[in-house]
Amino acid sequence: MALKVGIVGLPNVGKSTLFNAVSTSAKAQASNYRFCTIEPNEALVDVPDERLVKLEELVNPNKVIPTQIEVVDIAGLVKGASQGEGLGNKFLGNIREVDAIIHVIRCFEDENVLRDEGAINPVSDKEIIDYELQLKDLESIEKKVKRIGKMARVGGDAKMKFELDVVEKCEAWLKQGKNVRELELSKEELPAIADMFLLTVKPTLYVANVDEASMHTGNKFSETLQKVADAEGAQMIVLCNNIEADISEMEDPDDKAMFFEDYGMKEAGLDKLLRSAYTLLNLKTYFTAGVQEVRAWTIQEGWTAPQAAGVIHTDFERGFIKAEVMSYADFTKYGSEQACREVGRLRIEGKEYIVKDGDLMHFRFNV
């Protein structure tokens, strides 16, 4: 179940450079002019997981298959996009299709990289994007208020009245210049806004794109942005997109290791980015491990064993009988499924079992 994250931001902030660094299956044009990206570029990207390396050592399978996220490079947005400026409607439509947002914000000075917004100011850059998304959401909300308002107020429909109350709560929140994802809504209230596919409800990860000198420590721009992200309760990471793009071009492990040593890096920043995007979507991983393949499977947090089985095949969920489960810690401690079985660390779980991150599972089913 590869979910989709969209890379967004103002023109010339490093979106396409980041996309190229993340992707090995597709490359986007990265140039120093506005709207270099028009149609969104898409790529399936492996999510790094060191647990797969250990499982491969223990099982020695024919192949190893990691879990994946679909990454989309979306055209740069400009002020007035909600009213159709630039590629506004296309941009906003593309955002509507993703599950989460990676918002790239320029945190470096370089007179050779075009910028129409004046002096470098990551907070105002963030606010430009927020404002345009909020305006578009207000447009969607106004349409729904008009559609259900009469039924709720005059018709006395209790369900419509409840929905209207929730929608108007979101409307008031947006008019304060705040994103809907920051508004606390109950599980009962969320369905009331689901049909509007609001843009500001999507979970967001901020990427502070800094210069090479600031890649480890950040700088005054990223520090300012971090304070805003913290106040919003959002995640933010610091990357030098140009360095990450250089790393992604290296095929020789020895060259990459030497590069990491020269730059004082333990891993590519992209690995952290992809893991952050994965957790941003409240995703978990379970594994199947056998001679044919070791594979990571993506599920939502809180899914039951039958739901997890359904990711492999719908028949597994429909005919679910039981699951044989080992924790990753036990499997790596004892070294094999048989050893886990012998020491009583292989469990039988039923339909109500909530799958934990890192579980190794075998499913029994009958259809």
Residue type, 162: F
CB 173, CB 183: distance < 8 Å: yes
The annotation status of 13 as a binding-site residue, yes or no, is: yes
Residue 6 marked ligand-binding:
no
Alpha-carbon dihedral angle through residues 11, 13, 17, 22, given to the nearest 10 degrees: -110
Does 16 carry a binding-site annotation? yes
Nearest Cα to 16, choosing from 34, 26, 32, 29? 29
81 close to 92: Cβ distance less than 8 angstroms: yes
Q: Which residue has the tokens 């599980």?
A: 187
Record the tokens describing residue 6, joined without a space: 């969209």
Query: Which residue type occupies 234?
Result: A
Return the amino acid letter for 210: V
Q: Does residue 15 have a known ligand-binding role?
A: yes
Provide the residue count of the chain: 367
Q: Taking phi first (over 0 means left), then psi (-120 to 50 degrees means alpha), and beta for anything else, what does residue 125 get?
A: alpha
Q: What is the largest CA-CA distance in the chain?
A: 72
Backbone angles phi and psi of 119, in degrees to 5:
-60, 150
Neighbouring C-beta atoms of residue 6, cutoff 10 Å: 25
Please check if 214 is assigned to a binding site. no
Tell whether residue 17 is among the known ligand binding residues: yes
- Cα dist from 198 to 67, 97, 99, 148, whole Å: 27, 10, 11, 17
Tokens 């369900």, located at residue: 159
User: Which residues contribute to the annotated binding site?
Assistant: 12-17
User: Which residues contribute to the annotated binding site for ATP?
Assistant: 12-17
